[in-house]
Amino acid sequence: MKNYFLRRFIYSLFTIFLIATVTFFMMHSIPGGPFTREKPVPPEIMRALNAKYHLDDPLIVQYFDYLKGLVTFDLGPSFSKIGTSVNDLIKAGFPITAKVGFFAVLLITVLGVSVGIISALRQNRPIDYFVMFMATLGVTIPSFVLATVFIFVFAGKLGWFPPFGLASPLGYVGPVIALSGYSLSFVARLTRSSMLEVLRQDYIRTARANGLKELSVLGKHAIKNALIPVVTYLGPTIAALMTGSFVVERIFAIPGIGRYFVESVSNRDYTTIMGVTVLYAAFYVLMVFLVDVLYAIIDPRIKFEKESG
C-alpha cells in the first residue's frame, strides 16, 4: 500500500515534468516572442530585453533554467505584467477561481447525483422527463450563452443578482451556474443511467428477496455501485473547474486565473503559459490519483496492486 502511494507519487511528478517539457518546447516553436509588437521595437531595446530575461540564451539552457525554477516553485517573472511574478499572479487569482470552482463542484456533486437518482427512481414519469429535458438542454447550451442569458434576465431585467464581480455572495450564483451547467447535466444523466443499470442487477433482487427495507436497498446496495462511473467522470472535471474558465471569468469580470489560459498564449507570455499549464497538470494528476484511491475504497474488486506481486 505504502509502496503504491510512493510509486504513484513518482509517476505523477514524472507526468507533470513531461507536460512541462512538451509545453515548453511547443511554446517556443511558435513564431514571435513576448516582446513582439505591431510597431517594431528598436533592435537594441529588444536585445536588452532579451538579455535581461535570458531569452538570448540557447533554448536548452533556458529549459534547464526553467526546470531549476520549477523545482523551487519559482515560476519566473511575468512578461506581460512587468514587475509581477507568475507566482504572484497565481497567488492573487487562484483562490478566487478555486472558490467559484469549489461551489460549482459542490453543486454538481450534490444536485447532479441526487437529481440523477430521483430521475432513475421515477423512470418514465413526468419528473424524469423534466429532468432529462433540462439535462439535455444543459449539455447543449454553451457556458457563454448561459452566462449572457443569466446576466440579461436575472441581473438586467429582474435585478436579483449583480451582473458582475464577486463583491456580494449573490455574485457567485451566475458564475457557478454558467460554470457547472454542462457537467451538472452530464452528471445527472450519468447517475441516472448508472442507477437504472444497477437496479436491474441480481443483487438488488436478492436484497429485496431478503426483505431489506427499500431505504437500504437503494441507499446502501444500489448507490455504492451506481457511483463508480460518476466518480470516474468527476475527477478530471473537478480539476478543470477548480482552475477556472476563460469565458465565464471574462463575462462575469472575475479576477481569477481562467483568463491567463488564453491571454498568456496570445501574448507569448512564456512563464505564465508554463505556470498555468503546470498548475492545471498538477491538479489533474492529483484528481486522477484521488479517483483511483476512491475506486479502491468503493469497489473491493479493485486492488492497489496484485497481492502476489
Site string for other proteins, 235-274 (x = CB under 8 A): ----------------------------------------
- C-alpha grid cell for residue 7? 510509486
- Check binding of 210 to other proteins (CB under 8 A): yes
- Which runs of consecutive H residues, i.e. helices, occur in the chain? 2-29, 43-52, 59-71, 86-107, 113-121, 126-140, 143-150, 173-199, 202-209, 214-216, 223-242, 246-251, 260-266, 270-298
Residues 212-231, interacting with other proteins (CB under 8 A): 212-214, 216, 220-221, 224-225
- Check binding of 309 to other proteins (CB under 8 A): no
Q: Minimal distance in Å, beta carbon 183 to other proteins? A: 25
Residues 172-201, interacting with other proteins (CB under 8 A): 201
**Cα diameter, the chain:** 85
DSSP for 132-157 reads HHHHHHHHHS-HHHHHHHHIIIIIII
Confirm if 143 and 248 have CB atoms less than 8 A apart. Answer: yes
Element at 77 (helix H, strand E): none
- Check binding of 208 to other proteins (CB under 8 A): yes
- Check binding of 54 to other proteins (CB under 8 A): no
Q: Minimal distance in Å, beta carbon 221 to other proteins? A: 5
Nearer to other proteins, 2 or 301 (CB): 301
- Check binding of 141 to other proteins (CB under 8 A): no
DSSP 109: I
Among all chains, which residue has been given the C-alpha cell 498568456?
264
Select from 43, 169, 300, 309 the one that contacts other proteins (CB under 8 A): 300
Select from 21, 114, 148, 206 the one that contacts other proteins (CB under 8 A): 206
Q: Minimal distance in Å, beta carbon 127 to other proteins? A: 16
Nearer to other proteins, 68 or 213 (CB): 213
Residue type, 221: H
Neighbour tally for 104: CB within 10 Å: 28
Tell me whether residue 6 is exposed, middle or buried, using C-beta atoms within 10 angstroms of its C-beta: 0 to 12, 13 to 18, 19 or more: exposed
Residues that bind other proteins (CB under 8 A): 201-203, 205-214, 216, 220-221, 224-225, 298-301
